[in-house]
A = this chain, B = another copy of it.
């Protein structure tokens, strides 16, 4: 029997606004009109404002006193900072994961890796990213550290709105794939230190790609 989970309205609303930001319905820098959102969601201002406060402390929204809320702008520098931290967290996830990964986990990662290689060879960008992310999620989950997972997901959410350009440089792409080859080797050897180092370095490549997208403001 499934337990019914009473969920607060403000959490529901926060999820919905997160979606709107992620999919680009609410653009960076855009002012968030409370009244309008209340009507679209069919709730009063109280839970909506509570949700906005949560999103503010998550770094997705900013609150200007007496002047309402707006979606935070992504700056090149801010995105770089975010990726740097995500890299450090991924590095830790790799080190920890090697302590917990079961043989079945590794087999599953190997499978995903091969799948990803196929997408790379056929130059299928979207499916490639999809599987790529699944691999990183597996490693993250295997870290067995919920604080780490929480932090990473928060940062990840902040940069999710960046739509990676289809024109990912082929050199970058090749480098990323090579990183993944090395990762798999480290995982199979359960060499946490090495996996950590690879992962810490791995995220660097994404940045230049991101900068191409139009969402990022120069400061």
Binding site for B on A (CB under 8 A): 6-8, 10, 46, 49-50, 53-54, 56-59, 63, 65-66, 78, 81-82, 84-85, 87-89, 91-92, 96, 145-148, 150-151, 155
Complexed CA–CA distance, A7 and B64 (Å): 9
Some 18 contacts from A to B, beta carbons below 8 A apart, are A10-B53, A49-B50, A50-B53, A53-B54, A54-B54, A54-B56, A57-B58, A59-B150, A81-B146, A84-B92, A84-B147, A84-B148, A85-B145, A85-B147, A85-B148, A85-B151, A88-B88, A88-B89
Closest 5 CB pairs of A and B: A88-B92, A81-B147, A6-B65, A81-B145, A54-B57
Counting every copy of the chain, the complex holds 2
**Which partner residue on chain B sits nearest A152 by CB separation?**
B85
Known pairs A6-B66, A85-B147, A151-B151. 9 more at Cβ < 8 A? A6-B65, A49-B50, A54-B54, A59-B150, A78-B146, A81-B146, A84-B96, A85-B151, A88-B89
Q: Which residues of B contact A81 (CB under 8 A)?
A: 145-148
Complexed CA–CA distance, A78 and B144 (Å): 11
Q: Min CB distance, A114 to chain B, in Å?
A: 30
